[in-house]
């Protein structure tokens, strides 16, 4: 049976397409994976924030600033750490109408750590705008963010990019030898470590771990997001160490390995500092004085259910009438 299973799982094929057309408009599957991840993160974060008493869909207001800045930051970080892709003889860094420009994010090329930096700036601004505590938002976001990153990695699979070292393992990834990322000099049937899949599994598992930790230990004040930084970055150190795509190297390590190490250290620092600064629970997902109060119409609608029981005291007039009626019955 094991032999039969191994013969079935001889390798992982790569998709033969990376885009499709609606009329004459090209739709990049990479972009669809990113969008799907953003939607998943928004839905999960909204659910977690509203359960704590935040205004429903306030996450959308924060996302209006966080998402664009996250994408911009991701692209800037990628270009900065891969300058050879965009600058040099024969390159086209600035013309957006030609392939290979720094603006052509639809061709792939974003860096998660750049998105974290840009997204954090946008989220901080959005939280100040809405009155949400930045730490509360970060903790609510953490599990959904890991799941979004897992979904986004499927875009790398469709683009046949960011794979690892050659391997003879039964789950080796097939890469088209005509792909520009295929290492020269290797046989056409060479298989590679599917680093996209490793990260999909690691991040998905991490999302469930964060949900459990947040529920079991009530991690607040940014501590759940600190665990996210540690979990994601620890895995990223491993995946980056076996990837073979070009990257800037400093002191023997790829730039993203250094970024991941910083992520682990930063997560540990946040855990220690916030545990010492805040021994109790967050009183509200809002900063003092910015609390959200449901509208009267929302309160009325919440009573229009079979589960609602009115336990409020009756008006004084009704109490007096009821007492009179009771007295009359007693007198008889």
DSSP string, 177-222: TTSTTSPTTS-TT-EE--HHHHHHHHHHHHHHHHHHHHHHH---TT
Dump pLDDT digits (tens) for 94-103.
888 888 888 8
Question: Tokens 């390590």 map to which residue?
Answer: 253
Q: What does the block give as tokens for 15?
A: 């998709």
Centre a 10 Å sphere on the Cβ of residue 34 and count the other Cβ atoms it contains: 22
pLDDT exceeds cutoff 80 at 9: no
Least confident of 5-9, 11-15, 20-24, 178-182: 5-9
Tell me the mean pLDDT in the region 173-195: 95
Q: What is the pLDDT of residue 297?
A: 54
Paired strand residues for 286: 132
pLDDT exceeds cutoff 70 at 251: yes
pLDDT exceeds cutoff 60 at 310: no
What crossing angle do the helices spanning 255-277 and 223-242 adopt, rounded to 10°?
A: 160
- What's the CA gap between 125 and 137, in Å, rounded? 12
Dump pLDDT digits (tens) for 133-146.
999 999 999 999 99
3-state secondary structure of 169: coil
Cα–Cα nearest to 57, from 45, 71, 74, 69: 45
Q: What does the block give as tokens for 134?
A: 């930045």
- What's the CA gap between 171 and 6, in Å, rounded? 9
pLDDT exceeds cutoff 50 at 309: no
Q: What does the block give as tokens for 228?
A: 């996210």
The pTM of this model reads 0.84
For residues 193 and 240, the answer to whether their CB atoms sit within 8 Å is no
Across the chain, what does the average pLDDT equal?
A: 87
- What's the CA gap between 107 and 30, in Å, rounded? 8
Band (pLDDT 50/70/90 cuts) for residue 332 is: very low
Q: What does the block give as tokens for 198?
A: 């490793």
What crossing angle do the helices spanning 195-217 and 134-159 adopt, rounded to 10°?
A: 160
- What's the CA gap between 198 and 243, in Å, rounded? 12
Length of the chain: 332
């Amino acid at each position: 049976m094991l032999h039969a299973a191994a013969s079935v799982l001889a390798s992982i094929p790569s998709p033969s397409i990376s885009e499709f057309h609606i009329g004459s408009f090209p739709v990049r599957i990479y972009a669809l994976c990113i969008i799907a991840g953003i939607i998943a993160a928004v839905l999960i974060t909204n659910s977690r924030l509203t359960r704590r008493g935040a205004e429903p869909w306030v996450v959308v207001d924060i996302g209006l600033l966080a998402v664009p800045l996250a994408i911009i930051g991701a692209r800037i970080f990628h270009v900065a750490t891969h300058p050879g892709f965009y600058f040099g003889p024969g390159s086209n860094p600035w013309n957006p109408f030609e392939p290979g420009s720094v603006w052509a994010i639809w061709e792939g090329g974003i860096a998660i750590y750049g998105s974290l930096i840009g997204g954090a700036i946008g989220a901080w601004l959005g939280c100040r705008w809405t009155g949400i505590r930045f730490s509360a938002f970060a903790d609510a976001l953490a599990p959904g963010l890991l799941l979004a990153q897992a979904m986004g990695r499927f875009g790398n699979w469709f683009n046949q990019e960011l794979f690892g070292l050659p391997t003879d393992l039964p789950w080796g990834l097939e890469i088209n030898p005509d792909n520009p990322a295929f290492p020269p000099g290797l046989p056409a049937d060479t298989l590679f470590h599917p680093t996209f899949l490793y990260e999909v599994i690691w991040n998905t598992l991490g999302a469930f771990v964060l949900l459990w930790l947040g529920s079991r230990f009530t991690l607040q004040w940014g501590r759940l997001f600190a665990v996210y930084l540690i979990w994601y970055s620890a895995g990223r150190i491993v995946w980056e160490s076996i990837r073979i795509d070009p990257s800037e190297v400093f002191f023997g390590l790829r730039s993203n390995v250094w970024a991941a190490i910083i992520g682990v250290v930063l997560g540990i620092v946040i855990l220690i500092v916030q545990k010492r600064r805040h021994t109790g629970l967050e009183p509200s997902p809002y900063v003092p004085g910015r609390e959200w109060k449901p509208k009267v119409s929302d309160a009325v609608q919440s009573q229009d259910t079979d589960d609602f029981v009115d336990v409020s005291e009756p008006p004084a007039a009704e109490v007096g009438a009821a007492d009179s009626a009771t007295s009359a019955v007693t007198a008889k």
